[in-house]
Structure 1
Amino acid sequence: MKSLFRISALSVAMSLSGLASATAETLRVGTEGAYAPFNSVSQDGAIEGFDVDIGNAICAVMEVECEWSVHDWGGIIPALNANKFDFMVASMAITPARQKAVIFTDPYYYNAMRFVKLKDVELDDAKPETLKGLTIGAQQGAVSAKVLDDWFADSDIKLFPKLGEALMDLESGRIDLVLASQFAIGDWMNDGVDCCEFVGESFLMDGTVGAGIAFRKDDAELQARVNKALKTIMDNGTYDEIRKKYFEFDIMSKPGYVSELFNQ
């Protein structure tokens, strides 16, 4: 049974507007809960992270209560479409393939990928020709897995249900590199990890237009409401206050695409 957590944004809404309703609308928000610093579950069972703070700020503007739940990444779109929750704030990259299954808000950040390698692996760059024969890990269902499949046919690709499992195999020396979000990898390395280092440039998968909040295709009205609230928190400074809690740098700058990097 999936873990279910209730996180109320109503108190935040009261402080912002001075208004509250005893019968506030409740919206169910899904996330993965295994992708720090964006979304994770703390030791005391609380869902936390950048995605959660953004979702709660949006709910505060909308003056609704947020009910959060966590879901395995591989089944998170089917869970949304099966009405397990109302919308998803889970750092999901907006891609043409995913847009066939769900609809998205405008991007709320650009989650560039980057390779991380064992320090013992001698590499000055990370391109298909330099990674030939090496073992590269990625998370199943992530855009990084598709990039590896499309561009790194001469490498040994190993996919993992969760990013943390790939990073554990990297730290133990069972694989040579991992391709994932540069932010998630940076958060992992900042937690006292000394085995590994970034290699190569950061990039987006072709066709990706940033990370967005996802909805069922028949929920365009809710999508518009959330998109409006997202714009509000970006305009009033709330978004930047949240961003500064997690990142010291701009996360809305768009990196280059993988084809631009590897076709040089």
Structure 2
Amino acid sequence: MIALAAVVGTTAPGRAAETSEDVRVLRIATEGAYPPFNYVDESGDLGGFDVDFTWALCAVMEVECILVAEPWNSIIDGLVENRYDAIVASMSVTEERKSRVAFTDKYYSTPMRFVAKRDSFVGKTEVKGRAVGAQAETTSFDYLKDGYPFGQGLYAFETMEEAYAALLTGEVEAVLTDSLVAWDFLKSEPGQAFSFVGDPIYTDTEIAIAVRKGDEDLRQSINRAITLLIINGTYQEINQKYFPFSIY
């Protein structure tokens, strides 16, 4: 992923690489390893809900955008260090993150869910003492780390793809993740033997765009663009491309 951050960069469709001084260029980061929200396709291009949503935002804001992939564990650092102007990467709004960055209004909501083999267990209390995993430095991992004792181990994975691989091989018995991300895995062929277990966990469920603290003009511009995309129906079109139900 470190190499990927250096090579994946795409200009928003419909806008040439203009040099006019009246066109603002925004660099926006996503992860590229969190399907169906952001991923790198077989052609090496970024895709997913976050990516389509970013291009739609740039269009209504009338700005040129360059989208880059950045590993999750350094994505906030990159924003603070001015390597890009915003993060559109399915980031939950938390108090800890708000101490470093500013957030826009939400652009979707999702509770967390455990995913495990069908009928293996039914509730989150039964997770105690089992081998459980989540993506590192996420609200899911923090929830597990702070809320449960794990007799057989708590595993942190750099990407959800690695977490699912560990679930498939039996290295872990369950993973905790955003329900919408798990939904994409569950409908895949490898995911057919698995299902949600236990009730949804409603904590830090709002997903928003991160900008640097003090960049209030950009934050408000993005908020207006989010509202416009909902009003003009574009948001719903993107939503339906990935999910047969509203995620807002």
- Per-residue Cα deviation, 1:198-237 (whole angstroms, up to 9, x for no partner): 10111222xx250000001021111111111111101111
Matches within 5 A, 1:183-194: 183-193=180-190, 194=192
| Identity percentage of aligned residues | 36
Distance 1:202 1:250 in 2: 17
- Contact 2:131–2:150 (8 Å) recurs in 1: no
- Alpha-carbon distance change, 7 to 204 in structure 1, aligned in 2, over 3 angstroms: farther
- Per-residue Cα deviation, 1:107-145 (whole angstroms, up to 9, x for no partner): 0111211000123x6312222xx1221010100001000
Aligned equivalent of 1:126: 124
Aligned equivalent of 2:214: 218
The alignment partner of 2:75 has SS state of helix
Equivalent of 2:162 in 148, 160, 165: 165
Distance 2:81 2:10 in 1: 20
Equivalent of 1:241 in 231, 237, 244: 237
Distance 1:59 1:51 in 2: 12
How many pairs were matched up? 239
Matches within 5 A, 1:41-56: 41-56=40-55
Q: Give structure 2 stretches of 5+ with no counterpart.
A: none
The reply to whether residue 146 of structure 1 matches residue 142 of structure 2 is: yes
Shift in Å at residue 103 of structure 1?
A: 0.3
Residue 142 of structure 1 aligns to which amino acid in structure 2? Answer: T
Shift in Å at residue 185 of structure 1?
A: 1.2
Aligned equivalent of 1:63: 62
Shift in Å at residue 25 of structure 1?
A: 2.1
C-alpha RMSD of matched pairs (Å): 1.7
- Contact 1:9–1:59 (8 Å) recurs in 2: no
The reply to whether residue 4 of structure 1 matches residue 8 of structure 2 is: yes
Where is the strand percentage greater, Structure 1 or Structure 2? 2
Aligned equivalent of 1:17: none
- Contact 1:118–1:173 (8 Å) recurs in 2: no
Shift in Å at residue 92 of structure 1?
A: 0.1
Task: Compute the TM-score of the two structures, normalised by the length of structure 2.
Answer: 0.91
The alignment partner of 1:105 has SS state of strand
The reply to whether residue 200 of structure 1 matches residue 198 of structure 2 is: yes
Shift in Å at residue 173 of structure 1?
A: 1.0
Shift in Å at residue 9 of structure 1?
A: 3.9
The alignment partner of 1:171 has SS state of helix
Shift in Å at residue 88 of structure 1?
A: 0.7
- Contact 2:8–2:46 (8 Å) recurs in 1: no
Distance 2:150 2:137 in 1: 20
Distance 1:122 1:230 in 2: 41
- Per-residue Cα deviation, 1:31-65 (whole angstroms, up to 9, x for no partner): 00000000000010110100011111010001111
Distance 2:231 2:123 in 1: 39
Equivalent of 1:178 in 172, 175, 189: 175
Distance 2:77 2:26 in 1: 18
Aligned equivalent of 2:111: 112
